[in-house]
Structure 1
Amino acid sequence: MRGGTGEVWHAEDTRLPRTVVLKRAAFRDDRSGAFDRLWSEARAQARFGHPHVVTLHDIVEEEADGQVTSWLVLEHVPGGSLDGWPAMSPEAAARVGAQIAAALAALHDQGIVHCDVKPGNIVVTADSTAKLADFGAAYRLGGTDTITPNGPVSHTPAFAAPEVLRGHPEPASDVYSLGATVYALATGAPPGAEPEYDGLGPLGGVLDAMMQAAPEDRPGPDEARRMLDDIAGTEQPEPPGHAAPTDNDGPGAVGGRTTAWGRPAAFVRRHPRPVAAVVVAVAAVAVAAAVVIPSGGQEAPARRKPASLIGDPRTADPCALADPAALGRFGEAELDNDYGNFDRCDVLVSVGEAEHDVIDVRIGMATGAGPESGGGPARTIGRVRVVAEAPEEGECGRMLVLPSPDGGTTVSIDARQTDEPPAGAAPAPLCPIADTAVASAAAVLNRGPLPRRTPPFPPQSLAHKDTCTMLGNDALDVVPGIDARDPEIDYGGWGCEWHSTTQDIQVKLRFDRGQPLTAEDGSPTRLGGRRAFVEPDGEGGGTCLVRVVHRTYADQHGDDAIEMLFLVVQGEPPTERLCSMATSLAGAAAARLPAA
């Protein structure tokens, strides 16, 4: 498929396996300019993960006969773009807008402005989750790290803010473009010079605010998300029965011709990170990219791709995988959906009278493709592969490896004793408990997509934030050798980790939930106007733990519970130095917390 800025090919990664999209520049007469635009697009998406942004898996170069071609390897979103969809209800359009506004808030926190938000650059998953695509027009604010200069193809006039048309884009420009996009989704056409809001109800007022002529009069993306989310309620966009390709070949495009091509001579990388395994995988993708053409010249019918079982990580409900009734045969079982980070759900099983007889069955979502080889015994339950993890004292674990297109997500199920049993006590049936929980979870996954959280997280919850955006380079400068742009991102963006390249120091930041904190949880202080607790060696020797309280809410029993930042600095420096760094980092993160 060929368009205004490049060619897009569908491909099958035969090693992982998963469907991906390969994108390369459309060369025409300006080969160097085409390469620059493609690498610019990669820089805009690199090291950035968000559930409402299309994922950039890799960028590679193919070298053959002295010529080098650059390729982006992108997430395949089977639902296609929103370009050409018939008008949807104001509530459904607001749902799309709220999701993309969340993506824009995260991008702006990273200093990235998209510059071309429009229906053709929004793709939808099988469960109607919207994702922002095509960063070919994006740029980074400030300094010399410009991603792309403004030019005749850097925006779409029907959706561009007035300042963009004048050549001066800024973050507020994306809010304007999103307002114009939501308007088009709800009415079937972009707004004219004088938009008509009749029939849009409360959405009309929100769009009017988002499309104010002066950038300073528009809401920020977080405020726009909250307003759109309130209007949307539980509404979701319904696919019209077709998937439209983006007009400039964004990564969600589907339905175009795909041409067979041969094995590349080599892939050459221009960045130093160890990537041998990925290069092999992408080489396999390239070989598998062809669609077989019958001798009669007709394309073979497209194979229907399986729908995602997980969908949007932030709305998928891990508690839907739990079955307390099935675990009830071991003792009294109670679901706890307010335990730890947002990526988990726990069932507490009382197998006896003593405290050590309480078993915590933890169901956790994680990023990663699972073990490539080795590990414990494996078996298959329907579409789900179950791998037994190495046994540990007081714990029995299993990993559920999901089929394509969810190869980047795993589900861990661990049965753990909450307290160490006394000597001579009979062992708890940890592995039978874990296997019972596995059977229930696999049954849910094999029936179809994981149900959504009901009710959804409230607007003020940390569940809507990304931990990696809570700390920038300025804050992380207190730790030698850490690059804020190179984090390890956990499931849902709810955990982030940075490693120093010059010293044995790592920073771990995650969101957490639990009971209200007291002086037993560390030395009380205030950071960023919030209550905080500093605990030397709080995560074992050579660590310093800082917890910052975000908000208090009522848990499932009506008792007080809190959401908090959970920050750990771990390494070789003395504990006093670790706590100095941890307190500084926690204060910077606390300053970025939303209103509680």
Structure 2
Amino acid sequence: MNAAERLGDLRTLDWCESVEPAAFGEFGEPRPITQNSLDSCRITVTIGAENVTVNVGKLSKADELAIEDELVALSGDARVVETTPASGSGCGTAVVFADGIAAQSVAVPPSGDSRTAGQACDIARTGAEAIFDAVESGQIAHWEPPGPSLARLPACGILSDAKVSRLLNIEAGSMRLTPGEHHCEWGPARGTPPMAALDFEAAGESATGAGATGKTIGGRWSIVTPTTTGDVAICSVTTEHIPYANGTGGEHERAAIRVMLRIGEVTMDANRMQNSEEGKPDEGEGEQACGVARKLAAQAWPRLPKP
């Protein structure tokens, strides 16, 4: 069973329609909530006074997943596997199809709640089984993006691999595109710095985090947000696009560039960017990561469809 044949256009999958929230009814009260991705459906399952959030349907290449265990073999050479979520929290499972494409189900319980933490893995597995049932029964749904949507735009077609690699001071050729084409990444696998990513995603009402600033970059109003974790500097630059036609209400499509560098790491164009208005780094430990992120946004945003 090949995902590419059975799922149709991988860019427009409607997982909130394909996987009914009722599939999680045995655990509690399920309902879709504000969506944060063009590639999955975000559902909350209320168990007592706590909520477990499950994201269903995100596609990836199986060889890029951190697979922990083989859980069950399915028909058509498909299988369900246990995975370590990229975020490092919660429980992950995935349906791996014969062509090496995996559809993920990741459940995240509230921090510190041991009761729902124990159920999160069962919820994640139920999500994976619901994905397979929808595929096997031919119940996969799609949504129709409006003309200026980012949904049918390949994320790896916006920025030059050579230019991104030069800014990160890495060898060219590391560019990776997810099957749904909404995430493009450069650098070592699994989020090891130095790395950069361009995402087309969904987002609810924008909340400006600590240290975030708003400015016009590449002709579009953008939010620049620097953060640090240990010795790693992270910077994101986001710009809102049109309303998300497949959302639960109020979401917008959004383009986001994220850069991750070791603090003090030297990139190829660091000195050049210091003299560029678009690439001028923000102050603080993450200044170089923000310098790279702003430089990439200045190149990418003019290539996005006009809202």
Q: Does 1:315 align with 2:12?
A: yes
* Aligned mates of 2:71, 2:205 — CA distance in 1: 40
* Aligned mates of 2:177, 2:4 — CA distance in 1: 24
1:509 is aligned to: 198
How far 1:399 moved relative to its partner? 1.6
1:556/1:564 CA distance change after superposition, 3 Å: closer
1:438/1:510 CA distance change after superposition, 3 Å: same
1:330 is aligned to: 27
* Aligned mates of 1:401, 1:331 — CA distance in 2: 27
1:482/1:595 CA distance change after superposition, 3 Å: farther
* Aligned mates of 2:300, 2:289 — CA distance in 1: 16
2:233 is aligned to: 542
Q: Residue 378 of structure 1 is aligned with which of 71, 78, 83?
A: 71
8 Å CA contact 1:365, 1:411 repeated in 2? yes
Q: Which of the pair has more CA radius of gyration?
A: 1
Higher RCO (CA 8 Å, separation ≥ 6 residues):
2
2:273 is aligned to: none
1:482/1:526 CA distance change after superposition, 3 Å: farther
1:551/1:538 CA distance change after superposition, 3 Å: farther
8 Å CA contact 1:513, 1:562 repeated in 2? yes
* Aligned mates of 2:89, 2:63 — CA distance in 1: 23
1:397 is aligned to: 92
| Helix, strand or coil at the partner of 2:140 | coil
Match of 1:468, as an amino acid?
A: C
Q: Does 1:590 align with 2:301?
A: yes
Q: Which consecutive unaligned segments of at least 5 residues does structure 1 have?
A: 1-16, 19-305
* Aligned mates of 2:246, 2:64 — CA distance in 1: 35
1:317/1:374 CA distance change after superposition, 3 Å: closer
For residues 23-63 of structure 1, the C-alpha deviation after alignment (integer angstroms, 9 at most, x for no partner) is: xxxxxxxxxxxxxxxxxxxxxxxxxxxxxxxxxxxxxxxxx
1:466/1:554 CA distance change after superposition, 3 Å: closer
How do 1:18-417 and structure 2 match up within 5 A?
308-336=5-33, 339-353=35-49, 357-370=50-63, 375-383=68-76, 384-389=78-83, 395-403=90-98, 407-417=99-109
Q: Which has the higher strand share?
A: 2
For residues 424-462 of structure 1, the C-alpha deviation after alignment (integer angstroms, 9 at most, x for no partner) is: 7664511222232233222112223x53414x1111110
How far 1:352 moved relative to its partner? 2.1
For residues 508-552 of structure 1, the C-alpha deviation after alignment (integer angstroms, 9 at most, x for no partner) is: 111111113243372111112222111112788321111122224
| Helix, strand or coil at the partner of 2:92 | strand
1:236 is aligned to: none
8 Å CA contact 1:376, 1:390 repeated in 2? no
How far 1:323 moved relative to its partner? 2.2
* Aligned mates of 2:202, 2:171 — CA distance in 1: 27
How far 1:488 moved relative to its partner? 0.8
* Aligned mates of 2:296, 2:123 — CA distance in 1: 40
* Aligned mates of 1:344, 1:441 — CA distance in 2: 11
Number of matched pairs:
278
* Aligned mates of 1:470, 1:528 — CA distance in 2: 13
1:465/1:372 CA distance change after superposition, 3 Å: closer
How far 1:367 moved relative to its partner? 3.4
* Aligned mates of 1:551, 1:591 — CA distance in 2: 15
TM-score normalized by the length of structure 2: 0.78
1:525/1:474 CA distance change after superposition, 3 Å: farther
8 Å CA contact 1:539, 1:545 repeated in 2? no
| Helix, strand or coil at the partner of 2:167 | coil
1:342/1:555 CA distance change after superposition, 3 Å: closer
Q: Which consecutive unaligned segments of at least 5 residues does structure 2 have?
A: 266-284
The sequence identity of aligned pairs, in percent, is 25
| Helix, strand or coil at the partner of 2:36 | coil
8 Å CA contact 2:183, 2:200 repeated in 1? yes
* Aligned mates of 2:66, 2:225 — CA distance in 1: 39
1:436 is aligned to: 126
* Aligned mates of 1:399, 1:308 — CA distance in 2: 18
* Aligned mates of 2:66, 2:208 — CA distance in 1: 46
Q: Does 1:494 align with 2:182?
A: yes
| Helix, strand or coil at the partner of 2:12 | coil
8 Å CA contact 2:67, 2:84 repeated in 1? no
1:340/1:482 CA distance change after superposition, 3 Å: farther
TM-score normalized by the length of structure 1: 0.42
For residues 537-575 of structure 1, the C-alpha deviation after alignment (integer angstroms, 9 at most, x for no partner) is: 2788321111122224576454x3221111111122352
Q: Residue 291 of structure 2 is aligned with which of 562, 566, 580?
A: 580
* Aligned mates of 1:378, 1:492 — CA distance in 2: 25
| Helix, strand or coil at the partner of 1:519 | coil
* Aligned mates of 2:206, 2:65 — CA distance in 1: 40
